[in-house]
Amino acid sequence: MKLLSAFLLFILTSCAWAKHPNTARDADAIQQMQKLSAHTLDTLLPAIPFKTWLQSMVGDSVKLVWEINDCGEQVGTPTNRGSDNPICLNVVTSSRYIYLSIDIVIGTAKQGIGGKPVVSDVSVEKHGHRQSYVALSDLLISNWK
């Protein structure tokens, strides 16, 4: 019994330590997007790294959380299985009263990461009120902070 318990514990901890197969791909994509010129994403923005621009918008003390996801498209229904769902870079930040989320399509499940990144969603939730924007530069003219 002790041997079986030890074996099960080993299997469970090995699974927990195993990396997701896309971990390296995702880390590389995040790094590339952070370095990408903000001007590439929106021609009204300066030609500085996207991460630098975004951090300047939210403030140095606010943490940015970066992840790669399916843009909320993969729902697991039979009609959705096998679809060429988009791959998004999602960056979120939240301070005491404001939540900012940006989704940028950077590829598709079947074709992989590549092509011109396209901003698909910019939204801000402030004091329980959500506002969506079309472009990153909309944050410059809105009273989102």
| Residue 55 maps to a domain | yes
Query: How many structural domains is the chain composed of?
Result: 1
pTM: 0.79
Q: Phi/psi at 44 (nearest 5 deg)?
A: -85, -5
| Residue 12 maps to a domain | no
Q: pLDDT per position in the chain (145 positions), as tens?
A: 444 344 333 333 334 334 456 789 999 999 999 999 999 999 999 999 999 999 999 888 889 999 999 888 665 566 666 678 899 999 999 777 789 999 999 999 889 999 999 999 999 998 889 999 999 999 988 776 6
Of the candidates 89, 114, 111, 90, which has an alpha carbon nearest to the alpha carbon of residue 101? Answer: 90
Alpha helices in 90-144 (DSSP H): 138-141
Of the candidates 120, 130, 124, which has an alpha carbon nearest to the alpha carbon of residue 145? Answer: 124
Farthest CA pair distance, the chain: 66
Alpha helices in 18-49 (DSSP H): 23-35, 38-41
Query: What range does the domain containing 113 cover?
Result: 21-141
| Residue 117 maps to a domain | yes
